[in-house]
Amino acid sequence: MTKLRLLTQNLLDDLKKLTAEADTIYWMTAFLMKSGVKEVLPVLREAVLRGADIKILTGDYLSITQPDALQLLIDEIPTAEIRMMESGGTSFHPKAYLFKSTDSATVIVGSSNLSKSALTSGIEWNLYAPSTVDAEIFETAAHEFMNLFLSPNTVQINNEQIAKYRTRYDETNWKLPFSAVYDSKTELEMTFGATILDDQVADPASSYESTSLEPRPAQQLALDALNETVEAGYEKALVVLATGLGKTYLAAFFAQAYPKVLFIAHREELLLQAQQSFKHVFPDRTSGIYNGQQKENDADFVFASIQTLAMRHHLQRFEPTAFDLIVVDEFHHAAAPTYEKVLGHFIPKFLLGLTATPDRLDNKDVYSLCDGNEAISIHFLDAIRQNWLSPFIYYGVLDETDYSQLKWRNNRYDEEELLRLQIRDSYSEAVLTPWKEHKQSRTIGFCSSIRQAVFLSEHFQQAGHRSLALHGNTDRETRTAAKCMLESGQLDIIFTVDLFNEGVDIPSVDTLLFARQTESLTVFTQQIGRGLRLAAGKSHCTIIDLIGNYRNARQKYKVFADDNELPAKISSETFTEPTYFEFHFETAVIDLLEAMKQNEPIQQRLINAYFELKEELGHRPSYLEYHLKAKEDSKAIQQKFKTYPVLLEHAGELNELETEVLKQHKGWLIEMNRTGMNKSYKMVLLKYMLSRGVADWYKPVTAIEAAPFFHAYLMEKPYRRDADLADKQGLALHDYDEAKVAKLIETMPMTKWSGTSKGLIQFEDGIFSPQKEVAKEHDEILFGWMKEICEYRLHWNFERKKKVMVKQN
């Protein structure tokens, strides 16, 4: 049993035996069948009971995976992590079973999917490789597994996702994928007729960051803001710095006060670059890499791959208090459940999230991981105004392709349907023409798929231009060589899909070509940043953007607005600021955007955002979860629906009893949502009332009763105290005086609230009384909604106050 074995029958026996012994169980299979899941459920249930780390990755390729198999897994082993690869028509065929226990590890790779036939009587070949044969094989396989498991193309399986997939499954779409293409290294050598020389390949750990050991102006502003945040008592913060302003060096400068630091990133290049930056700032302190290949965990600075750290057996090597500071780079990539699991393990003195994306566009989950505390945000527009980044000229060019009939799945277009529109000579020519008209010398072209990138590159080559397609599967040598060739003028354009979004820079790039649909505003912002680096001889960056009737065609322009709000009309004059950024829209583009505006009712957008978030979370989002994670601004809920339960009603999400509760208490719920709040006092009073329980929260209350809770809540966190107890009256209450606190409560929330509530609240003879009766069967639902509104409004108040203080500073 200790040697390499070929299994040609009855894989099930080995799976059962290994599952019964392992505390880490990672399975990846192209498809799942209910018959196969039933065979392994008993041992998986036992593994759950003993606390094993179970992760299962399957795919939707050709819609073979059975929805009932997915349902069985999440019903029977709810603590396991089940994810599905959204293939978009690209083949997905892996079959691998990984097991690890305290003293052994095993990898089985072969042909068996998770079906009864494949596990028992079918003709299958599988190779059984225990750690006694190769001690590193499990770590290598586990690292590659986690890369796929946390891929942006995977979704967490929950009831909402299963229901959505079931619709596709029932359609039984058996279309064949497109044919394969040359790998990028072969294409590079075929195109340029020679193998790349060693001196053309850059060091993958090299960085374009400044090697200065003094903070640059933007970094100093961010450092000051972070220090103020720490002094205010916050334990977490998000820093938004435009690409090119040096987030990694900022983290290094900030780490001065912390003896032990954990730096987490999602790509190897980012870890190596961060390690080099920290070494420049702290040449005498130790550092180590913790990833699939290296396991250096006893250093002052540990640079860890999230893919490796998310594995339970690695995470448990670290004590919860092992690090004083944790830094998460490119925070917008956080797959919330995975990051929350890792971050939930540690208890650092401070958590710092770094990103280049604007505040709360389409990655609010990132914002919520730092409890909504944004220490500072320097938008790329502000950085250009400060001459920290390059000016740009933007050309909005009409794309006449009709995207209106394409299927929209998991926040992106169906890849196969999209390719039918893009893999056409007429489309490629429509991309080539504006590029030839507006380009400068070095271009990065952003595409929506590998096949589109290859197709466009070939079209440009046939037209006499030196082009190349690169993507995530391209080997590092080819990628670095291509960078050098673009910089040296040997290439005119690199077409890419998922490279150059972050962490890899070519400062001399002076043209960006967008031949893709903007699905994520975060990715769009990252890609714009690729052309804004300052470089010798570079006067500005040219942005050529093909605009069609695709989703987000209007919404994408939020990234060019300082407040992330769209203007009434988009035109060349809307965003232009002479000497900094200049916009040129074709008339047809302006007309298209204006027509699309009429088709964007805000109520439906708010409801769509609700359902997208529900799918992501697997449960009905709370009001605060919507605020922190949904892709629409929660303040529009008050404007369009008056309160969150009304949105739920319009979305068809309320059952009969909930509908009855809303009808009976709508006025009260709207009052809680709309009442004015210069300070948090009304909601702190409500929070105290809610603390009395489901059946008693709306009973009369006096200021004396509420005073201890009221004072303790506001004084518990410095940011609450500084926000709402910073005036003369508030300062006098820092030391608890029951009479003074009670007088404040009577004068402020009780008197003012009763005076503006239109009879819903009465305050007489020192007694604060909500004027309402609640049927016993309504208690729990109304109480839950009141807690959600209170939680949301308190968070909103302190978030708003923090932003005001940041701007004033």
pLDDT given for residue 725 in this prediction = 86
Backbone angles phi, psi at 257, to 5 degrees: -90, 5
Tokens of 77: 């082993």
pLDDT given for residue 406 in this prediction = 79
Torsion of CA 556, 558, 559, 562, to 10 degrees: 170
Residues in the chain: 809
Burial of 336 (0-12, 13-18, 19+ CB in 10 A): middle
Question: In terms of Cα–Cα distance, which of 801, 800, 798, 774 is closest to 785?
Answer: 774
DSSP assignment letter at 750: I
Give the SS3 label for residue 216: coil
Residues of the chain with pLDDT under 50: 1, 173-212, 359-364, 501-503
pLDDT given for residue 360 in this prediction = 47
pLDDT given for residue 202 in this prediction = 33
Containing 482, the helix (H) or strand (E) segment is: helix 476-488
Backbone angles phi, psi at 444, to 5 degrees: -110, 125
pLDDT given for residue 500 in this prediction = 60
| Separation CA 123–CA 111 (nearest Å) | 9
| Separation CA 28–CA 55 (nearest Å) | 8
Residue type, 281: V
pLDDT given for residue 189 in this prediction = 42
Question: In terms of Cα–Cα distance, which of 284, 283, 329 is closest to 303?
Answer: 329
pLDDT given for residue 22 in this prediction = 94
| Separation CA 227–CA 247 (nearest Å) | 16
pLDDT given for residue 608 in this prediction = 84
Containing 278, the helix (H) or strand (E) segment is: helix 268-281
pLDDT given for residue 106 in this prediction = 94
